[in-house]
Structure 1
Amino acid sequence: MKGEGNRNKAKCLVYIAAFVLVQMAIIVAFSLTVMRIKSLKVQFGAVSVKSMSTINTTTVPSFNMRLMTQFTVKSTNFGHFKYGNSTVTLLYGGTPVGTAVIPMGRAKARQTRKVNIAIDISSDQLSSDTNLGNDINSGVLILTSEARLSGKVHLMKIIKKKKSGRNELHHSN
Structure 2
Amino acid sequence: MAEKNQQSYSSENGYTRSTDQESAMATFQSEEELKRQKRRKLFMYIGIFIVFQIIVIAVFGLTVMKVKTPKLRLGNIDVQNLNFTSEASPSFYMTFITQIRVKNTNFGPYKYDSSHVTFLYQGMTLVQVAIPKGKAGWRSTEKIAATVILDSKALPSGSNLGSDLDSKVLKLSSQAKISGKVELMFVMKKKKSAEMNCTIEVNLATKGVQALECK
Same structural fold, with TM-score higher than 0.5 when normalized by the shorter chain: yes
Residue 112 in structure 1 maps to residue 147 in structure 2: no
**Which residue is 1:56 aligned to?**
86
Which residue, 43, 48, 71 being the options, matches 2:100?
Answer: 71
Cα shift at 1:119: 1.3
Query: Which stretches of structure 1, 4 residues or more, deviate above 6 A after TM superposition?
Result: 25-28
Residue 93 in structure 1 maps to residue 91 in structure 2: no
Give the structure with higher Rg (CA). Answer: 2
Which residue, 51, 56, 72 being the options, matches 1:42?
Answer: 72
Counterpart residue type for residue 38 of structure 1: K
SS of the counterpart of 2:76?
strand
Counterpart residue type for residue 74 of structure 2: F
Distance 1:41 1:131 in 2: 33
Which residue, 162, 168, 181 being the options, matches 1:152?
Answer: 181
Identity of paired residues, percent?
A: 39
Cα shift at 1:54: 1.8
Distance change (3 Å), C-alpha of 1:130 and 1:156: closer
Distance change (3 Å), C-alpha of 1:153 and 1:27: farther
- TM-score, scaled to structure 1: 0.78
**Mapping for residues 129-144 of structure 1, pairs under 5 Å:** 129=158, 131-144=160-173
Distance 2:147 2:59 in 1: 42
SS of the counterpart of 1:116?
strand
Higher normalized contact order (CA 8 Å, seq sep 6+, divided by chain length)? 1
SS of the counterpart of 2:75?
strand
Distance 2:171 2:78 in 1: 14
Distance change (3 Å), C-alpha of 1:26 and 1:114: same
Gaps of 5+ in 1: 1-21
- CA RMSD in angstroms comes to 2.1
Which residue, 151, 155, 158 being the options, matches 1:126?
Answer: 155
Higher helix share: 2
Cα shift at 1:146: 0.2
Distance 1:40 1:28 in 2: 24
Higher strand share: 1
